[in-house]
Amino acid sequence: MNILLTGAAGFIGSHTAVELLRRGHNVVGVDNMNSYYDPSLKKARLSWVRKCARTAKGKFSFSEKDIADLSAMEKIFKTHKFDKVCNLAAQAGVRYSFENPSSYIHCNIIGFFNILELCCKYKVKHLVYASSSSVYGNNAKVPFSEDDRTDDPQSLYAATKKSNELMAHVYMHQRGLSCTGLRFFTVYGPWGRPDMAPFKFMKKILGDEPIDVYNKGKLSRDFSYIDDIVKGIVAVIEGPNKSNRPVYNIGNSRPVGLMDFIRTIENTAGKKAKKVMKGMQPGDVYTTFASTLALEEDYAFRPDTPLEKGIAEFYNWYKAFYKIS
Ligand SMILES: NC(=O)c1ccc[n+]([C@@H]2O[C@H](COP(=O)([O-])OP(=O)(O)OC[C@H]3O[C@@H](n4cnc5c(N)ncnc54)[C@H](O)[C@@H]3O)[C@@H](O)[C@H]2O)c1
């Protein structure tokens, strides 16, 4: 298939590109390479994708464009006849949405609107897009199921992701565009995101710097290993043009306490963390826990990477990439 993949230089996007290419699909990657975090990491991910493309069955091309730029995006849609679109481009991060709210509206609302319009205009068969576990807010019922209420977002980031689901609903019902949203739960692994806790912890523990532990460690997250998540994304992209549900949770279904997570990194790195206990952060939620029954049933999704293995893979990549002996 010909697939447009936005956010292709991002953490999940680069891994998704590699897997799609390996499976013989042609991938057109789009990313605006913004500096929300170190763009050299995004460039390095793209080099990795290009290197993988050399031995893959599919072809890869890349265009540095902003999805909020309608005319630039329209040229891309016009040039390539996309069968499917996977929209992973977003301004991510919960805490940053308190500092720079407009960047969330720019990419997550205007950019996503452009993607919806162009998918309709150029008759894309299926749009698969990134939503987030943050839509559940402080949902008290665990595990989180797709049918739970999602009308109490704790940040503008969460509100934009919920808005994406509502916008997709309208395009599906009024314009006949087939859309599937995937609610990701704290994804970690090689090529990970420097603004996320797993990366920050690894970096600081290895560098003998103190780590901030929010809510005194009384938080838990459904940490999900990147390879498991990519298998799920690709299964949905390769699946039928219309899925049974408008949105699916895609997580590990085994929440881990923050202190246990830190201990796993300490054991892997063979170093003790210097912990600075902090209060609850604005926008943060106490727990995330995905029920993935729907994705298991419809797409045979089975995450099977134990935390210790996932952290070891991440550690090995981190040391090699940052040349730490
Ligand atoms: N990683 C997670 O744990 C997680 C959890 C929930 C949801 N998500 C969602 O999954 C998607 C991928 O996340 P990720 O972790 O790979 O994040 P990422 O920041 O590494 O990737 C997103 C990419 O989108 C690009 N981008 C941002 N604005 C753009 C724009 N206007 N036009 C074009 N490109 C733009 C960025 O440069 C970046 O490379 C995002 O939509 C994110 O909100 C991720």
Residue 225 annotated among the catalytic residues of the structure: no
Give residue 283's pLDDT: 84
- The rounded distance, in Å, linking the Cα atoms of 279 and 306 is 29
Percent of the chain with pLDDT over 70: 100
Catalytic residue among 37, 96, 136, 157: 157
pLDDT at 225 over 90: yes
* CB of 92 sitting under 6 A from ligand 1: yes
Give residue 282's pLDDT: 87
> To test the ligand 1 pocket, which listed residue (4, 5, 6, 11) has its Cβ within 8 A of the most ligand atoms?
11
State whether residue 287 is helix, strand or coil.
Answer: strand
**Mean pLDDT for all residues in the chain:** 97
Residue 4's contacts (CB-CB under 8 Å, 6 or more residues apart) are 28, 30, 76, 77, 80, 82, 84, 85, 86, 124
> At 247, which amino acid appears?
V
Question: pLDDT band for position 284 (50/70/90)?
Answer: confident
In DSSP notation, 128-153 reads EEEEEGGGGTT--SSSB-TTS-----
| Closest CA to ligand 1's atom 5 | 184
Instruction: Report the pLDDT averaged over residues 271-278.
Output: 97
| Closest CA to ligand 1's atom 12 | 88
CATH code of 2-188+224-252+289-304, in short, is 3.40.50.720
* CB of 16 sitting under 6 A from ligand 1: no
pLDDT by residue (tens digit) across 53-101?
999 999 999 999 999 999 999 999 999 999 999 999 999 999 999 999 9
| Closest CA to ligand 1's atom 21 | 10
Question: pLDDT band for position 29 (50/70/90)?
Answer: very high
In DSSP notation, 89-127 reads -----STHHHH-HHHHIIIIIIIHHHHHHHHHHTT-SEE
Ligand 1 centre to CA of 272 (Å) is: 31
User: Does the predicted TM-score (pTM) go above 0.85?
Assistant: yes
pLDDT at 289 over 90: yes
pLDDT at 192 over 90: yes
Give residue 10's pLDDT: 98
Q: What is the dihedral of CA 36, 40, 43, 47, to 10 degrees?
A: -150
pLDDT at 206 over 90: yes
> To test the ligand 1 pocket, which listed residue (28, 30, 131, 132) has its Cβ within 8 A of the most ligand atoms?
132
